Amino acid sequence: MIIQQNSYRPKVFMVWGGVSISSHGKTTLRFVEPGAKINSNYYINNILKSFLRRDVPRLFPENGRVEWFLHQDSAPSHTARQTIEYLNRYKINYVTPDEWLPYSPDAAPMDYAIWGYLKQRLNKTEAKTLEELK
């Protein structure tokens, strides 16, 4: 999600987040470093690895007995060969770009509900820095 500037908050920031059908909560929001180029290397090292290391064990503590799937959108860093190779190498179940339903509110709740809700909430705040927003 990219949030645009208004008179109250920093110019622009980008954040990654996800929903889980697990009863153990949601993913941690991961804020992208200002000015970072979001290529597959950045995505793997700064988003995916921390998600897999920190969020997955908490969301699915059944120690591998529950099968889960990573559902990404069609961002270039998500569909890049290096990212797909990483997911395959570590045997991470994911929805392939060919299987992705880009215009489905049911299949992409982050795009159709959650980001919009967060933007509405942020527009009601007067935070002046990114740290205040976090």
- DSSP per residue, the chain: -EE---SSS-S-EEEE----SSTT--PPPEEPPTT----HHHIIIIIIHHIIIIIHHHH-TTTT-S---B---S-HHHHSHHHHHHHHHTT--B--TTT--TT-TTT-HIIIIIHHHHHHHHHT----SHHHH-
Q: Which residue is listed with tokens 């990219």?
A: 2
Residues 5-27 have a mean pLDDT of: 67
Q: What is the mean pLDDT of the chain?
A: 78
Residues 67-96 have a mean pLDDT of: 90
Residues 84-98 have a mean pLDDT of: 91
| Residue 39 pLDDT exceeds 60 | yes
Asked if 120 contacts 6 with a C-beta cutoff of 8 angstroms, the reply is: no
Query: What pTM was computed for the model?
Result: 0.74
Residues 52-79 pLDDT 10s: 999 999 888 876 677 888 888 888 999 9
* pLDDT given for residue 84 in this prediction: 95
